[in-house]
Structure 1
Amino acid sequence: MRDAVAVTQSPRPPRDAVPDHLAGRAVAVDVADPDLDADVRAVLAALALDPVTREVDTADVVVTDRDHADPRPGVARVVRVGGEDAAGDDDEVIRLPSGTADLVGALLAPVTTGGGVLVAVVGAVGGCGVSTLAAAIAVRAADFGRTLLVEADPRGTGIDLVLGAESEPGLRIEDVRAELGGPDPDALWGAVPEVGTGCRVLARSRDRDETPVARSASDGALGAVSAHRAAGGLVVCDVGGFAVGDPVLARADLVVVVTRADFQGVVAAGRITCELPGATLVIRTHRGDPLEAADVADAAGLVRWHVLPEVRSVRRLAGTGDLGGALEAGARGSRWRLRRLGALADALLGEVLSGDR
């Protein structure tokens, strides 16, 4: 076993010497390697921070050496550590013991615990209306405060089309520089197109020539999501298809999985819910579906599920960019099935805004 890092030789500061923003901070240690675990705990001891168990859901920071850290609800930050000789060149991993100063900096940095909420909508199969549902949730969420609809799908073709904002001037995903730590939330809010009172959209440009980026911190969508949420805003993300380790899904307060009432939909939804057991299922139904919605939910193993019938008027409104206005107007003059889409959006928001999750 290698020698302990030099920080272990530092005297433990008295409690009243701990910076105000560190007082009461909960740091969970989830490190499998014993040498790394000793290094991390030495740093915590030098900072007068007592580590808590990984099972504590309300930890402010989790320090881990696992490749796919899975932050639990309430965890504000994940700090990844690794050994000097470990394979890989991930810049987000702090190498110990040489990176002790970086670990100290990560632990000392203020933790944003604003009241922001992130709702992510993901499709189990293609063509099940993920963008339409995400747009509906965002429009209805505007009643609760600043709501930003973000197209997190790297292969998206412009969710602003659904809301008729494709010609509106303003920022697109490609304009956001995530590598600078995320945009200023107020500047971001003022620069993106408005699609309704209290609701704005950050979509992908349809004029881009570059290959779609992977879902990682290098993508401007994640920086925008983090910035708006940290400022206390409500974010709704169109995630598109499912990918293991998706950073948006890992951070979401509510994940909505949309699927169809057929065998392909059941299998795909089951695979996703194995990775995301706390998700809520929305089953898009059509006349003549081979399966009942209840059977789909049962096979997927989810307790929370909703049914949304296919409605031609909704598809038409989304295609013409009039969906946002119809939903914002509420029930007045709307067909009952369009009202059902609004009611579903309200029900999903109720799950995450009621504080019961």
Structure 2
Amino acid sequence: MNSILVAVTDPTLHPEAVHIAAATGRNVIDTTDPREISRYFNKVDAVLVDETPARHVGSLPRRAGVYFLAADPGPMNWRSVVDSQAQHAFVIPAQATELLAELGRADLPQGGTGLAPGRSRGHVLAITGACGGAGASTLAVGCALRAAGTYEEPVTLVDGDVNSGGIDLLCGIEQEPGVRWPDINFGYGRLSAEELRRALPHTGSGVAVLSATRSTLAQEPELSAEVIAAALRDLSVGPGLSIVDLPGHMLFQAAEISEFSGVCDRLLMVVPAEIRAVSAAARRVNRLRTHGWNSPIEVVVRHRGWSGLDIGEIETILQCSVLGEVGTIPRMAKCAELQGLEGRRWKSFDNITRQIIAEPGRTA
């Protein structure tokens, strides 16, 4: 270990990348040969990659600590960012300080792979809807339940909307004992990931759920981006997967975007295949990128009824890769109302949740 792999072909970007890697005090392995990249990929602390090697890097088993670089002033090729399975993306040299800080973090994963047992840092997946009624909360619950049945590591579902009515209802555990958002104060002291998960209500399959309440008390505090991000940071200190259901208003202000960009490894946006919804999604994606969001943004296309756009058109408009699509599922709404989603299976829904949480070499 104690090395950084630099796989950068751009002649302007390359010396900057080597300089930043060397500034960390680690050994620098400088190569763009696919065979050498494959050889060292899981033997280094971090990987710096640009556009040309991105697809090859993305074909290797997923791991944390992969960073995509683009030359200043951009634009960022977000398709290549997704292809490379990068954890974050940086424009260099403009964001050299941010990249250096990321590489210097004490909890930098030591060559671990994705969600594999023993990784030193947890993975955070944010799911948001392009508009109301897109199905982001339902998809977040489905992904958490699928992950709990797939991986041995702990899974936590975080409700990012205090006005949601409580994501514990979708899980069918509203009567389960455990703390909710108002019971935890992240402004004082620090909880370990294990302590926090232990205090939360759990689904039958073991998903820990940090949920909003259904309190009617006027003095109940609003959830802020700072508080949610603090919880996600606490949860990501140890191994495991945290899935946060984020409403659109939590990703609007520059300060909020910065809070979540620093802690989320991926952002998944659920986008109905409708002109107004895709237009709203395009505005949100542009705002995220303008304000420095540097984690991959992926899209799940939702068919709510009549769809006015196809996948190719949506990818072109958003400049994001579409991970998959899902339609309206008969009886799902009734099931969610009466008993929650745990223990229920729908083929198309299972397929998309499997795609979202899947890793190369590991299947549900």
- Corresponding residue for residue 126 of structure 2: 120
Q: Residue 343 and residue 59 in structure 1: after superposition, are their counterparts in 2 closer, same or farther (change >3 A)?
A: closer
- Corresponding residue for residue 14 of structure 1: none
Equivalent residue in structure 2 for 1:324, among 334, 337, 342: 342
Equivalent residue in structure 2 for 1:291, among 309, 319, 324: 309
Q: Residue 267 and residue 59 in structure 1: after superposition, are their counterparts in 2 closer, same or farther (change >3 A)?
A: closer
Equivalent residue in structure 2 for 1:111, among 93, 104, 107: 107
- Corresponding residue for residue 242 of structure 2: 235
Amino acid at match of 1:138: A
Q: Residue 302 and residue 177 in structure 1: after superposition, are their counterparts in 2 closer, same or farther (change >3 A)?
A: same
Task: Answer yes or no: is 1:191 the counterpart of 2:199.
Answer: yes
User: Deviation string for 1:89-136 (max 9, x for gaps)?
Assistant: xxxxxxxxxxxxxxxxxx999436424111110111111111100000
The answer to which of 131-140 and 264-273 deviates more is 264-273
- Corresponding residue for residue 225 of structure 2: 215
Rounded to whole Å, the distance in 1 between the matches of 2:66 and 2:347 is: 40
Contact 1:154 1:215 in 2 (8 A): no
Amino acid at match of 1:213: L
Could you tell me how far 1:138 is from its partner in structure 2?
0.3
Rounded to whole Å, the distance in 1 between the matches of 2:108 and 2:197 is: 18
Residues 91-102 of structure 1: pairs in structure 2 closer than 5 A: none
Task: Answer yes or no: is 1:141 the counterpart of 2:147.
Answer: yes
- Corresponding residue for residue 272 of structure 1: 284
Contact 2:122 2:240 in 1 (8 A): yes
Contact 2:145 2:207 in 1 (8 A): yes
Q: Residue 59 and residue 163 in structure 1: after superposition, are their counterparts in 2 closer, same or farther (change >3 A)?
A: closer
Contact 1:121 1:257 in 2 (8 A): yes
Could you tell me how far 1:255 is from its partner in structure 2?
1.1
Rounded to whole Å, the distance in 2 between the matches of 1:149 and 1:297 is: 28
Amino acid at match of 1:193: P
Task: Answer yes or no: is 1:130 the counterpart of 2:136.
Answer: yes
Rounded to whole Å, the distance in 1 between the matches of 2:320 and 2:260 is: 21
Rounded to whole Å, the distance in 2 between the matches of 1:246 and 1:126 is: 23
Q: Which has the larger radius of gyration?
A: 1
- Corresponding residue for residue 34 of structure 1: none
Could you tell me how far 1:296 is from its partner in structure 2?
2.3
- Pairwise CA RMSD: 3.8
Rounded to whole Å, the distance in 1 between the matches of 2:301 and 2:342 is: 22
Amino acid at match of 2:211: A
Contact 2:232 2:263 in 1 (8 A): no
Rounded to whole Å, the distance in 2 between the matches of 1:203 and 1:226 is: 17
- Structure 2 spans left out of the alignment, 5+ residues: 5-22, 29-46, 50-64, 68-84, 89-102, 110-119
Aligned to 2:342, the other structure's residue is in SS state helix
- Report the number of matched residues: 263
- Corresponding residue for residue 335 of structure 1: none
Matched-pair identity in %:
24
Rounded to whole Å, the distance in 1 between the matches of 2:130 and 2:332 is: 20
Q: Residue 316 and residue 182 in structure 1: after superposition, are their counterparts in 2 closer, same or farther (change >3 A)?
A: farther
- Corresponding residue for residue 85 of structure 1: none
Task: Answer yes or no: is 1:312 the counterpart of 2:330.
Answer: yes
Amino acid at match of 1:123: G
Rounded to whole Å, the distance in 1 between the matches of 2:337 and 2:261 is: 27
Q: Residue 24 and residue 255 in structure 1: after superposition, are their counterparts in 2 closer, same or farther (change >3 A)?
A: same
Amino acid at match of 1:130: A
Task: Answer yes or no: is 1:341 the counterpart of 2:349.
Answer: yes
Rounded to whole Å, the distance in 1 between the matches of 2:354 and 2:140 is: 12
- Corresponding residue for residue 63 of structure 1: none
Aligned to 2:124, the other structure's residue is in SS state strand
TM-score if structure 2 supplies the norm length?
0.62
